[in-house]
Amino acid sequence: MGLPNVNYTVHRGQVKSGLSLAYIREGVGGYPLLLIHGFPETKRIWYRNIGPLASAGFEVIVPDLRGFGNSDLSADGFYDPAAYAKDLYTLVHDVLGHSRCSIVGGDVGGVVAPHLALA
């Protein structure tokens, strides 16, 4: 079974100097729901979920973590759950303007989620 035949717009958000994350954002105006991929995946792992979740009333935010997919490599060399969480906090809070969101994560994303929840 292949990926759904969709053409999501990939946005970019600068989360620190020299580091921008690629992300998909569908259902703008709904309750924010952040989907965090695992290793060695990218945002594409969530393609089947984006449409149904946006239709259910969520603003679905699906980034590539630093160093994955279309996101930048990190000049500071940090690729750990705390660094990923800080990037995602900046994306959701500062770039997209949300004070809170729900989080779903798989594999590495599941480890990043509690770090992000504490932010």
Cis status, amide bond into 114, omega within 30 of 0: no
On whether residue 84 sits in a domain, the answer given is: yes
pLDDT of amino acid 75: 93
Instruction: Find the domain containing 84 and state its range.
Output: 10-118
On whether residue 2 sits in a domain, the answer given is: no
CA 116 to chain centre: 12
On whether residue 5 sits in a domain, the answer given is: no
Band the pLDDT of 6: cuts 50, 70, 90: confident
d(Cα 86, Cα 93) in Å, to the nearest integer? Answer: 10
Q: Give me the CATH number covering residue 27.
A: 3.40.50.1820
On whether residue 67 sits in a domain, the answer given is: yes
Alpha-helix runs per DSSP H in the chain = 47-55, 81-89, 108-118
* Mean pLDDT value across residues 78-100: 97
pLDDT of amino acid 4: 63
Each residue's pLDDT tens digit, 16-25: 999 999 999 9
